């Protein structure tokens, strides 16, 4: 029996139906019963370069022969320095320094601490609040969770560490203000100014946003001029702009970093997921020289994590980044992403349960509705997103489900395959999705 035993010693809930993985290669995963699946969501939108990449496996082998782990206060290591230099070279001016961590929540956590210690180092001790958006997802550690607005995850831990003010995300399909772009005059972006004034600008350190929404909002692409307004407000009030590129970074949206879509200059970015593509835990925050020097002079940072910047993690990160850049995987994501979005829109023509198709590059989503006209969600949201995901799984397609926002609306699935996907494989995925939706709506 290849299934997980009912009395599973692991802490999290794995259903007895969950198959055991046997092997993963390219965009495919096989279970121990020999069934083959298309990894249509790159795990948790992480395996950007696909599974079993020979270049990464060779780099792991090579690094293992020299040093797997050394501690950063005792030894510097070449892969860490090389990867940091490459990241700085490839990112927008103003992101001059790299601080390694081991995952997305740690990256967000470090971004929060970096902002706070920056203002402390300048004697502006009141500036401690980080404004975020609703809905949003920034991680599972208590600081990152406090910035997250996704009720099912927060409720068991309330009150959050420190109330973090939230403004509406640019969710045009379900506009918080019930307005339409562009007549809305970007009310959701301008809400940042209102929130800053409500809190008192002297209390606000930063604003954090996912450049293109991820798991909580389902590939939510903001209006073209949204971030220009946000950047201007941050500049006028002297608050820092943090972009959470944990999901959108490393080619996912068709550019190496999503901020490139709008020529945006963030003060801090949080990175992980695609950075090591699932081959090793790795993340980072990047920030500018002035900010970092001020923080270091004030003695407030860095607080390190034991695994941060270890040789193996960075050797993997370097091999992954080389693969993305050398093989133009961001460009492939842009091209196959257009094909995928157009295929999804065709499916929407056949299946009225699809309320909206959205996304950019290979970060795409379908939002489900009970009634397309009124955009009313399904009464039992658990049913629809689980049903579609389970049906797809049984047809050998893995997609990433997300329950509705605050139990009201926003049921969606993310479709975000590895960036190495070919045009023929996109068609194969669309065909399985078509069969899935036919079965669900039969």
- Burial (CB < 10 A; 0-12, 13-18, 19+), residue 390, is middle
**Residue 333 in the binding site for ligand PMP (CB under 6 A):** no
Verify binding: residue 109, ligand PMP, rule CB under 6 A. Answer: no
How many residues touch ligand PMP under the rule CB under 6 A: the total is: 16
Q: How far is the CB of 258 from ligand PMP (least distance, A)?
A: 11
Asked if 392 and 309 count as a contact pair (C-beta separation under 8 A), the reply is no
- In Å, how far from its chain's centre is CA 10? 26
Contact region with ligand PMP (CB under 6 A), list: 53-61, 175-183, 209-217, 313-321: 209-217
In whole angstroms, what is the distance from residue 316 CA to residue 100 CA?
Answer: 13
Smallest distance from the beta carbon of 298 to ligand PMP, in angstroms?
A: 26
Nearer to ligand PMP, 53 or 210 (CB): 210
* Axis-axis angle for helices 329-350, 311-326 (nearest 10): 70
Q: How far is the CB of 61 from ligand PMP (least distance, A)?
A: 25
Choose between 48 and 294: whose C-beta lies nearer to ligand PMP: 48
Question: What track of x and - describes contact with ligand PMP for positions 163 through 182 (by CB under 6 A)?
Answer: --------------------
Q: Does the protein bind ligand PMP through residue 105 (CB under 6 A)? A: yes
Shortest distance in whole angstroms from residue 78 CB to ligand PMP = 25
DSSP-assigned letters across all residues of 18-62: PPPEEEEEBTEEEETT--EEEETTHHHHT-TT-BS-HHHHHHHHH
104 binds ligand PMP (CB under 6 A): yes
Closer by beta carbon to ligand PMP, 132 or else 336:
132
User: Distance between CA 105 and CA 328 in Å, rounded?
Assistant: 28
Binding to ligand PMP in span 136-165, by CB under 6 A: 137-140
**93: number of Cβ within 10 Å:** 8
Site mask for ligand PMP (CB under 6 A), range 303-322, x = bound: --------------------
Q: Which positions from 8 through 47 interact with ligand PMP, judged by CB under 6 A?
A: 44
Is the N-terminal amide bond of 302 cis, ω within 30° of 0? yes
Which residue in the set 135, 211, 214, 222 belongs to the binding site for ligand PMP (CB under 6 A)? Answer: 214
Question: Distance (Å, rounded) from C-alpha 247 to C-alpha 270?
Answer: 9
Residue 368 in the binding site for ligand PMP (CB under 6 A): no
Looking at 131, 167, 215, 421, which residue binds ligand PMP (CB under 6 A)?
215
Least distance in Å: CB of 145 to ligand PMP?
A: 10
Residues 38-97 that bind ligand PMP (CB under 6 A): 44
Number of Cβ atoms within 10 Å of the Cβ of 400: 21
Q: Tell me which residues in 239-278 interact with ligand PMP (CB under 6 A).
A: 244, 246-247, 272
H-state helical runs in 284-371:
289-298, 311-326, 329-350
Q: Which stretch binds ligand PMP (CB under 6 A): 28-36, 104-112, 151-159, 300-308?
A: 104-112
How crowded is the C-beta side of 64, counted as CA atoms within 13 Å?
7
CB of 257 to ligand PMP, least distance (A): 13
Measured from each CB, the residue nearest to ligand PMP is 104
CA 239 → CA 203, 242, 295, 395, 413, distances in Å?
Answer: 10, 10, 15, 48, 34
**Nearest CB to ligand PMP, comparing residues 214 and 337:** 214
Neighbours of 295 (CB within 10 A): 25
Instruction: Return the exposure string of 160-174: e unless at least 16 CB atoms fall within 10 Å of the residue's CB, then b.
Output: eeeebbbbbbbbbeb
In the complex, minimum distance from the CB of residue 373 to ligand PMP, in angstroms, rounded to a whole number: 32
Instruction: In angstroms, give the least distance from the CB of 150 to ligand PMP.
Output: 11
**Alpha carbons 43 and 315: distance in angstroms, whole number:** 22
Nearest residue (CB) to ligand PMP, 208 versus 353: 208
**Interface residue list for ligand PMP (CB under 6 A):** 44, 103-105, 108, 137-140, 210, 214-215, 244, 246-247, 272
């Amino acid at each position: 029996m290849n299934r997980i035993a009912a009395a599973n010693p692991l802490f999290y809930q794995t259903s007895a139906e969950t198959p055991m993985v046997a092997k993963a290669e390219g965009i495919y995963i096989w279970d121990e019963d020999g069934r083959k699946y298309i990894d249509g969501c790159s795990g948790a939108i992480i395996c950007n370069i696909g599974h079993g990449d020979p270049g990464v496996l060779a780099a792991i082998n090579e690094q293992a022969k020299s040093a797997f782990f050394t501690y950063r206060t005792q030894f510097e290591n070449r892969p860490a320095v090389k990867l940091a230099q490459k990241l700085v070279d490839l990112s927008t001016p103003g992101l001059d320094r790299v601080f390694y961590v081991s995952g997305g929540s740690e990256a967000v956590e470090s971004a929060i601490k970096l902002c706070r210690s920056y203002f402390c180092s300048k004697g502006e001790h009141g500036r401690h609040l980080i404004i975020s958006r609703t809905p949003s997802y920034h991680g599972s550690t208590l600081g990152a969770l406090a910035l997250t607005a996704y009720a099912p995850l927060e409720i068991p831990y309330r009150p959050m560490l420190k109330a973090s003010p939230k403004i509406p995300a640019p969710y045009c399909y379900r506009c918080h203000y019930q307005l339409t772009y562009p007549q809305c005059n970007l009310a959701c972006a301008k809400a940042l100014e209102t929130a800053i004034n409500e809190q008192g600008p002297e209390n606000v350190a930063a604003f954090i946003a996912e450049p293109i929404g991820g798991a909580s909002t389902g590939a939510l692409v903001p209006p073209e001029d949204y971030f220009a307004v946000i950047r201007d407000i941050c500049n006028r009030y002297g608050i820092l702009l943090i972009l959470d590129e944990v999901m959108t970074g490393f080619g996912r949206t068709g550019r190496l970093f999503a901020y490139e879509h709008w020529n945006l200059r963030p003060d801090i970015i949080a990175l992980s997921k695609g950075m090591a593509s699932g081959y090793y835990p790795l993340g980072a925050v990047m920030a500018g020289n002035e900010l970092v020097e001020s923080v270091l002079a004030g003695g407030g940072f860095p607080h390190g994590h034991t695994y941060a910047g270890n040789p193996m993690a960075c050797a993997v990160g370097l091999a992954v980044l080389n693969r993305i850049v050398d093989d133009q995987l961001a460009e492939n994501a842009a091209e196959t992403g257009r094909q995928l979005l157009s295929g999804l829109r065709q499916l929407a023509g056949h299946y009225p349960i699809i309320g909206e198709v959205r996304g950019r590059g290979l970060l795409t989503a379908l939002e489900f509705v009970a009634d397309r006209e009124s955009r009313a969600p399904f009464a039992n949201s658990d049913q629809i997103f689980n049903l579609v995901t389970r049906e797809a799984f049984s047809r050998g397609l893995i997609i990433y489900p997300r329950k509705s926002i605050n139990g009201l609306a926003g049921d969606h699935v993310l479709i975000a395959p590895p960036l190495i996907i070919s045009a023929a494989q996109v068609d194969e995925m669309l065909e399985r999705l078509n069969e899935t939706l036919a079965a669900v709506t039969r």
